[in-house]
Structure 1
């Protein structure tokens, strides 16, 4: 008989055995995976900038990284990258906060048609307010924006209905919404298009209850069209680039990540089709003493990504499934080249 409730718990439950007594690069807080990912599974991604690092790591590991909105045949690779073909599984751009996921689904299936249709840029060109950076050259006419949007949303429907695994990376709780109908925007108006008018646009900072409800709402929507879909929720370890709250950005960042971490865990609980994976916990934990951040203390270096993906592979890849060899863990003690982060437009817009 156990002497107390903790007597026979595994080593992973104890800080000294699983953290303090382990080399930082060997700490492995993997969850008990409720499902495997097979090489044939169609694995899609969406979310913040860090989702792009995850997508590349999935490709490198031999997973079937699933894309339903590919570049037109003959598009030069450089142009395809600039227009964000393949950056995510569909060209929705960065989905920083949870209301965007919900409304993306509802827009794709005709349940929500925002009043906001186009944003003008300073150069006279037009952009889609819900993905303002996917077409660097912009559009000449509102009809072109509408046509591109409808084609995109068709590919989003294809994605949701046919994916096997969706990796969602949550990045922010702060955001902007159109006051007319609550349409959630990836960037504040005036940063990459549009004109900021506080009478027309509202700043929001979601709390844990709202984020949890959004996540559960999105999951219910996804499962309504794809009951077999499996979802991996993660929180981006990349700090926010700026806060609109009247406080230090460090405080706002800790609030944001704490809310997202709590909500992701709560939303994933209780359904075997969803699981929280601790990418944020691995990178941002004090055990690494900042080793996984570049000099800007924001970009995640390659060692951090390798540690996350090694744990990811060990969690979700069955032992018998073929996969690319992981790098030796000793190499994990740089850079975000090629990662598109719409949030960085904030800094460029105020420089």
Structure 2
């Protein structure tokens, strides 16, 4: 079935008159190499005073911050959420929506059927674990006590409903591998942990979405937006160039990622052909067709360098009616800066300096990555704190040996000990290799002025406890 049928006479006319109809050649490579410049065509007429809401994968965060710097009122940056002692990571990533199913979930709960949201469907925990995970957001990375999780989710639902005020919605599609909860019949934004899958056998499935399923959910997303936003709202769709970090399929992640992006790109092409209020911006093509040295950050091959994001956003505004003059000048300046600073054929000295700086950044990023990995793999629970004794358990999923737990008073290290006591209940829940993971720490003679107690494993914050005078 064709999503677009063009009469032969018109197709021949397009071929004759379209200046971008032919692929660039070695003689004239400028539009492709080293920096791709796919033509966007006219996008929308904007004044710069519009309210914008950005939804989607991590690339959407880059878009909204750039639009904010350009003076647009970006509703999706208005974030005022209750804090929690368990949430050591910033909230920025909480707003990433990686698949069309979870975008659709949020829009249903926020606009279409607010009464359909239920905490018991969304906030999940493994047996014997007091912390719950919101798998519609970031899952285990932000595991919370029930009260904090409920407060955050209710605030998030109110926040997402502000999309109804938007003049422009930017929707960035991320990937086509999506986890599905058979019990709630909801697509998940974060993969359930191995322990969660084992604790609820048969509950979770990996769905590799096809074009038909993706297109159906995109249709429903647009129907909700049309029903609840202004009649003249505009929808700008992009496909995130950020590839899969890993795949749960039995194949090479390079192959799995190609399928994932191809499905999204195919759906979008048919989607915008049928909707005059929707436009596609080829951020995916900008990135994948440009020289890798110009595109990727120095620490990985997944995240787009900030200078290249600036180039992309200047190209977006270059296609916006009413902003062309400023955008053209800005785009030329950004392009020149990008080529001058990162061009693959830079001088040997500049290249050596760049490689040294890149290596320094890689070491720093690697350290940060290890910290983030530890936050995701350290499991713990504090069972008891009576003013003198700390009792609980902790282990690291990456290995089976006992981990060292440290207790800090204010900002000073007070005591270190191994968490190696027997915990039969933990072994029953998480496997026999977790038998020796308990701790019992008695604190005496705390220093005067002690205000806060902190439990850590390495750089990972486990718990922060305000101190009251000990009871006899």
C-alpha contact (below 8 Å) 1:117/1:146 kept by paired residues: no
Q: Which structure: greater strand fraction? A: 2
Tell me, in whole angstroms, the C-alpha distance in 2 between the residues paired with 1:250 and 1:26: 22
2:123 to 118, 126, 151: 118
Q: 1:135 to 1:252 in 2, by over 3 A?
A: closer
Cα distance, 1:345 vs. partner?
A: 6.7
Query: 2:354 maps to which residue?
Result: none
Gaps of 5+ in 2: 1-8, 340-357, 378-396, 399-472
- Could you say what secondary structure the match of 2:319 adopts? helix
Question: Which residue number in structure 1 is paired with residue 254 of structure 2?
Answer: 250
Change (3 A) 1:317 1:281: same
Compare 106-115 and 17-26 and name the one that shifted more: 17-26
1:303, CA displacement in angstroms? Answer: 3.3
C-alpha distance in structure 1 between counterparts of 2:105 and 2:264, whole Å:
18
Give me the whole-angstrom Cα distance separating, in 1, the residues matched to 2:277 and 2:56.
19
Preserved CA contact (<8 Å) 2:139 2:190 = no
Question: What is the Cα deviation at residue 61 of structure 1?
Answer: 2.4
Gaps of 5+ in 1: none
Q: CA deviation at 1:172?
A: 0.8
Q: How far, CA to CA, are the matches of 2:313 and 2:154 in structure 1?
A: 34
2:308 matches 1:299: no
Q: Is 2:43 the counterpart of 1:30?
A: no
Give the CA deviation at 1:161.
1.2
Q: Is the 8 A contact 2:47 2:323 kept in 1?
A: no
Residue 152 of structure 2 aligns to a residue in which SS? helix
What CA distance in whole angstroms lies between the structure 1 residues aligned with 2:238 and 2:224? Answer: 19
Aligned equivalent of 2:214? 211
Q: Report Cα offsets for 1:305-340 as digits up to 9, x if no partner.
A: 1221121110125147867945341222299999xx
Check the 8 A contact 1:233/1:275 in 2, yes or no: yes
Which structure has more RCO (C-alpha within 8 Å, separation ≥ 6)? 1
Is 1:65 the equivalent of 2:69?
Answer: no
The answer to whether the 8 A contact 1:11-1:17 is kept is: no
Normalization by structure 2: what TM-score?
0.61
Between the two proteins, the alignment pairs up a number of residues equal to: 332
TM (norm. structure 1) is 0.80
CA distance in 2, matches of 1:94, 1:106: 17
**What is the aligned-residue RMSD (CA, Å)?**
3.7
> 1:211-268: per-residue Cα shift (whole Å, max 9, x none)?
1111111011111001332111101111100111110100000000111111122112
Alignment of 1:91-102 (within 5 A): 93-102=95-104
- Distance in 2 of aligned mates of 1:44 and 1:215: 17
Which of the pair has more CA radius of gyration? 2
